[in-house]
Amino acid sequence: MPFVNINVKKGKSGEYKVAILDGVRNALIETIKVSEDNTFQRIYELDEENFIYPRSRTENVTIIEITMYKGRTVEAKKDLYKAINLNLAKNPGIAGNDISIVIYDLPPEDMVLEDGKPINE
């Protein structure tokens, strides 16, 4: 069950943000076989003064952080990166240069999903 945090510049439409959420979710389902109802996703909108990024990026700069438990192969992660980039290029039209992705792999005992029990219990 991945936890996804997405950072974008403030001012994007609801439709734009939903497209990002859907694109990331669909990539997780397609590539690492997450079940359709098994993700937590959040979008954070940042004001200009709270978001510094390289000048080579545009107003569509998007940072995606995915926290999940260890066990996915390097190939699966590469497939995930590619799928996210393809999905977000299609809709809402974010260029690959504007997308940064970070994965945090945690041991299962470091993730509690419900009832105070780690994943591996």
pTM of the model: 0.90
Give the residue-averaged pLDDT of 15-27.
Answer: 97
Residue 117 has pLDDT above 60, yes or no: no
Residue 49 has pLDDT above 70, yes or no: yes
**Domain 3-118 falls in which CATH fold?**
Macrophage Migration Inhibitory Factor (3.30.429)
Beta bridge partners of 69: 106
- On average, the pLDDT of the chain sits at 91
Q: What pLDDT score does 121 carry? A: 47
Cα 71 to Cα 108: distance, rounded to the nearest angstrom: 9
Give the residue-averaged pLDDT of 61-67.
Answer: 97
The string of pLDDT tens digits covering residues 22-47 is 999 999 999 999 888 878 899 999 99
Inter-residue contact 2 to 66 (CB < 8 Å): yes
Peptide bond into 92 cis (omega under 30): yes
Domain positions in the chain are 3-118
Residue 118 has pLDDT above 60, yes or no: no
